[in-house]
Structure 1
Amino acid sequence: MSFADLGLSDELLRAVNESGYTEPTPIQASAIPSVLMMRDLIGIAQTGTGKTASFVLPMIDILAQGRSRARMPRSLILEPTRELAAQVAENFEKYGKYSGLSMALLIGGVSMGDQMAALEKGVDVLIATPGRLMDLFGRGKILLTGCSLLVIDEADRMLDMGFIPDIEEICTKLPKARQTLLFSATMPPPIKKLADKFLDNPKMIEVSRPASSNLSIAQYLVPLKSDAKRSTLTALLQQEEVRTAIIFCNRKTTVRELNKSLRRSGLASSEIHGDMDQSARLAELDRFKRGEVNILVASDVAARGLDIKGVSHVVNFDAPWHPDDYVHRIGRTGRAGATGVAYTFVTPEDAENVANIEKLQGQKIERLSAPATAAVETPAAREPAADSPRRERSPRRGAKPRTNAPSFEPEIAEVLPEPILDDPLPAEIVRPVREERRPRDEARPQETGRSREEGRSRDEGRSRRGDRPARHERQADDQPDDGWNGPFPAFLEVTLNR
């Protein structure tokens, strides 16, 4: 099947062909004809299946007839985050360049004046986040009575972010005689209730089991200690197989610290998180897309909906707290028919989170063995022994790509830093310092009634304590550090089955 078989206009087909697409994905092939027939629709599809184009393409043809009016958008697309809204806007610009349709992006973090100016001119397509839309509506700057087509995208994410009451209020302000499209990766009860309330006899399209992860992604769990995460990540990212990678962390502070650590290690990395303003976040995403940096450290603000081509690896530096976030995180790779690899670093404290992820997916995730301790060896001594640990293959359900995890073996001897101080200070260096202070100390026993011998005994005790190594030499081995000064994880030395 080709896009020409779906009933799209010639101008739209021209834009699609120029974008490099020839065949529709399963959800596009199922959804586009139904949308063109003006039916309400519920699309259940995992991330990376092309669902954005499944509503953008037919919307362009539907809106080709008609004219926009000031402050009264003809269609509305609701997105949970600014990044998702910007992504949809890029799709409209790419596919609608021959349609002559006008579009406005209504999101927080950017100038409201420019957005209101665009609305005053009249727009055919309004792409908005619920918060900014409700703000402008409350100020009387926008009317929704002329909106004949509504798209609620990433509905389960809307639920997670607490936007369902806003969605319900927005729906009441739109005409009842409208077409409504709802897309979600999962269908929890609140979303089902929302669909029953605001959709009219919708067609249900489901191209994959709800909450299942993309089968073109090879998934691995990496058990390790918390203080070994950074050194393991640095070794992983230095491999030739890792062309581009997104690293996910649970906290914004971790994102900032990890990005600094990777840059100090000589890696071309950048960061994106919720504390950055919108223009800065979009600028960093553009740098990543253009290839100026090949590693992006991100919080969950970037986990959903971003379509970045060619991401070869995803690494969960922190195991996600919510199983749905795992599905959306790893969905940044293995997109549009490509294959990808996803690693998740897990500590003993993550056992419950991992169990919830595997329960949601309905399958076990393959583990890479990582013994608790391992001796650091030179490269010549790291030949795999006959009894060396190998990947433990866990029972799985369904197809799995035969993508082998690369073995990461950087030159350990070149990475380990030189010791700060090999031995304590020699006694002949320490003793003269103590002797220079002795006249001042010897006066104290007379002042306090102590004997000269007691003062000397006390000074000799100090000299013995001075033979101890400096405090920085006695740090605990498990103290976190930006550099790589820990043992080399054994799972990275595994010779994999081919």
Structure 2
Amino acid sequence: MTNFADLGLSQKVLSAVTDAGYTIPTPIQIGAIPPALQRRDILGIAQTGTGKTASFVLPMLTLLEKGRARARMPRTLILEPTRELAAQVAENFDKYGKNHKLNIALLIGGVSFDEQDRKLERGADVLICTPGRLLDHCERGKLLMSGVEILVIDEADRMLDMGFIPDIERIAKLIPFTRQTLFFSATMPPEIQKLADRFLQNPERVEVARRSSTAITVTQRLVAAHGKDYEKRAVLRELIRSQEDLKNAIIFCNRKKDVAELFRSLDRHGFSVGALHGDMDQRSRMAMLANFKDGNIKLLVASDVAARGLDIPDVSHVFNFDVPIHAEDYVHRIGRTGRAGRSGASFTIVTKRDIKFADAIEKLIGQEVEWHNGDLSELPEPMESHDSRRDRGSDGRKDRKRERPVKTRSDHKAVTAVDNNTEELETVPERVDTVKIERNAESKDRHNGRSDRPGRAQNAANDDNRDRRQRHRRDHDDGPTPVGFGDDIPAFMLIVGKA
């Protein structure tokens, strides 16, 4: 049996690995570490939870023992798709590099540029970042990439999903062609294969899992439910309460709006729950993850931003509140449980409109997922009971608008009063309309009269009307329009001329 001492790692690294409690390397580590120490390019195809991060962290620590960093010129570069993944890789370097004196710089959003600039000025042996933040620093002239010896592209398929491939291509042009490249992806779609062919030179291909397979230690079940959100929430609560061996769980939703709604619902029902989605600022996200890891909260409701690479070693359950639209996301979601040989359980709530997505998942993973307590055909008809209405009232507030209130006598009186007022108000427009009709009729008659008089007669009528208007103005005239103060100039403003 292979152990870490057989892989060629330095004594400093081996000591840190032993202190962390690891003795036997995983298949991805056995396959990737020796060629990485020989400065060969690596193409690693492995799911999260297989020890993939250590397969590039450990050889990098050994290789970095020689040499030193210079200001603004990092020696190695690791690209991650999300802030959480970047922060977790930094934690791995802290854990396994405790016997080294290396400068680790983490460049992610949510942290001020000034603080990150100070780290870069000290020199970075390892630069861990998201593509966007790295390009921001490069455009500000704070980074020189000509000294990069090792480039790591982690979660390449996730990079593709998030639209980072153009950024990665720009970054690759800034780095020396002679670099060593370690390229990792959970899946290998055609676009990622083309990218790997462009970046890697004669790579060592290490594939430790069948494409999009799920861990055999995870018990998978489909759970039938009606389509209303409040009905799905009731099914989820019943599931959670029925799991006697539940230690902690991640609950996945397809949209961040649903994450917030489900979090509020579970919180109202007394569950120990937190939420994680893309709109949270960096400090809140890291604090939420820390609380979940430390056991301060039992349930974590998350969007797919948290599905890839979360380093939470002991998650007992995964619940899919929504069936993922992309079948590959199912594999990444349930990869949060059943890690490192531990047993785990996943439950996916399925409605009639989700059948096509569930079929796509079964086709991708190459196995049929059993139903928990019967499939959709065995669902009872939804009951409009008092309990369901009460549950809807607490979980889905907007459903309350559909219920008509029961009218009391006081309500009836109020309505009658309003109706009477309405009738009184409606008589006013009728009188106004009558006056308008009479005036319109008079004006029409005048108009018809004028139109019957040709030439001079019409001009004479116009002259008569003009005379009447002028007489009216004279009758109501108060005198000429005053200019300035008129005759009322204050005495102190008068200047008496000398004779």
TM-score by length of 1: 0.76
* Matching residue within 230, 236, 240 for 1:237: 240
Task: Give the SS at the match of 2:221.
Answer: strand
Partner of 1:281: 285
Cα deviation per residue 1:335-369 (whole Å; 9 max; x = unaligned)?
A: 11111111111111112212221221122211221
Question: Matches of residues 91-170 of structure 1 in structure 2 within 5 Å?
Answer: 91-170=92-171
Q: Distance in 2 between matches of 1:307 and 1:145?
A: 32
SS in structure 1 at match of 2:301: strand
Which residue pairs with 2:275 in the alignment?
271
* Alpha-carbon distance between aligned partners in 2 of 1:337 and 1:123, rounded to the nearest angstrom: 36
CA separation of 1:359/1:375 partners in 2, compared to 1, >3 Å: closer, same or farther?
A: closer
Q: Aligned residue for 2:322?
A: 318
Conserved 8 A contact 2:227-2:352: no
Q: Secondary structure at the match of 2:169?
A: helix
- Partner-residue secondary structure (3-state), 2:315: coil
1:373 to 1:142, Cα distance in 2 relative to 1, 3 A: same
* AA at the equivalent of 2:380: T
Give the direction of change, closer, same or farther, for the CA distance of 1:94–1:374 in structure 2 (3 Å limit). same
Distance 1:351 1:266 in 2: 31
Task: Please list the CA deviations of residues 141-183 of structure 1 after superposition, one character each: whole Å capped at 9, or x if unmatched.
Answer: 1011000001100011111111111111111111111110100
Ranges in structure 1 where 5+ consecutive residues have no aligned partner: 377-411, 449-498
Superposition deviation, residue 433 in structure 1: 7.2
- Counterpart for residue 292 of structure 1: 296
1:261 matched to 2:261? The reply is: no
**Residue aligned with 1:221, SS:** strand
| 1:375, distance to aligned residue in structure 2 (A) | 9.1
Any conservation in 1 of the 2:254–2:324 contact (CA below 8 Å)? yes
Identity, in percent, stands at 57
Q: Residue 309 of structure 2 is aligned with which of 305, 310, 314? A: 305
The residue type equivalent to 2:362 in the other structure is E
Q: Deviations over 1:376-398 (max 9, x none)?
A: 9xxxxxxxxxxxxxxxxxxxxxx
Q: How much does 1:238 deviate?
A: 2.1
Residue 296 of structure 2 aligns with an amino acid whose one-letter code is E
User: How do residues 371-382 of structure 1 correspond to structure 2 at under 5 angstroms?
Assistant: 371-373=378-380
**Contact 2:13–2:99 (8 Å) recurs in 1:** yes
- Structure 1 residues 100 and 265, CA, compared in 2 at 3 Å: closer, same or farther? same
| Distance across 2 between alignment mates of 1:236 and 1:117 | 50
Kindly provide the amino acid, as one letter, of the partner of residue 15 in structure 2: R
Alignment of 1:196-211 (within 5 A): 196-211=197-212
State the SS of the aligned residue for 2:146.
coil
Deviation at 1:191, TM superposition (A): 1.3
- Counterpart residue type for residue 201 of structure 1: N
Give the match's secondary structure for 1:238.
Answer: helix
Contact 2:226–2:382 (CA under 8 A) maintained in structure 1: no
The aligned counterpart of 1:171 is: 172
Cα distance in 2, alignment partners of residues 315 and 64 from structure 1? 43
Describe the shift of the 1:68–1:365 C-alpha distance in structure 2 as closer, same or farther (beyond 3 A): same
2:12 match: 11
Mapped partners of 2:188, 2:415: distance in 1? 79
Alignment partner of 1:93: what SS?
A: helix
Aligned to 1:321, the other structure's residue is in SS state coil
Distance 2:199 2:259 in 1: 39
Measure the CA separation in 2 of the matches of 1:23 and 1:205.
Answer: 18
Give 1:307 shift.
Answer: 1.2
Q: CA deviation at 1:372?
A: 2.5
Provide the C-alpha distance between the structure 1 equivalents of 2:285 and 2:351, rounded to a whole number of angstroms. Answer: 30
Distance in 1, matches of 2:192 and 2:298, equals: 37
Pairwise CA distance, 1:187: 1.1
Change (3 A) 1:241 1:179: same
- Whole-angstrom CA distance in 1 between matches of 2:241 and 2:379: 23
Counterpart amino acid of 1:267? F
Contact 1:46/1:214 (<8 A) preserved: no
1:42-121 paired onto structure 2 within 5 Å = 42-121=43-122
**Do the aligned partners of 2:224 and 2:351 also contact (CA within 8 Å) in 1?**
yes
Task: Please state how far the C-alpha of 1:226 moved relative to its aligned partner.
Answer: 2.4
Check whether the contact 1:27–1:207 (CA below 8 A) recurs between aligned residues: yes
SS at match of 1:39: coil
CA distance in 1, matches of 2:68, 2:225: 60
Q: CA deviation at 1:416?
A: 8.0
CA RMSD of aligned residues (A): 2.8
Change over 3 Å in CA distance of 1:124–1:344 after alignment to 2:
same
* Residues paired across the two proteins, number: 404
| 1:425 Cα offset (Å) | 8.2
| Equivalent position of 2:458 in the other structure | none
Give the helix-richer structure, 1 or 2: 2
Q: Which residue of 2 aligns with 1:217?
A: 218
- Which consecutive unaligned segments of at least 5 residues does structure 2 have? 394-399, 428-499
Letter paired with 2:354: D
Q: Is 1:226 paired with 2:227? A: yes
- 1:251 partner amino acid: R
- Cα displacement (A) at 1:75: 0.3
| Deviation readout 1:288-332 (Å, 9 max, x if unpaired) | 011110100001110000110211000110111111111111111
Quote the offset at 1:432 in angstroms.
12
Look up the match of 1:473: none
User: Could you tell me how far apart the structure 2 residues matched to 1:320 and 1:282 are?
Assistant: 25
Q: Distance in 1 between matches of 2:138 and 2:144?
A: 7
Larger CA Rg, structure 1 vs 2: 2
**How far apart are 1:430 and its partner, in Å?**
4.4
Specify whether residues 132 and 434 from structure 1 end up closer, same or farther in structure 2 by C-alpha distance, changes over 3 A only: closer
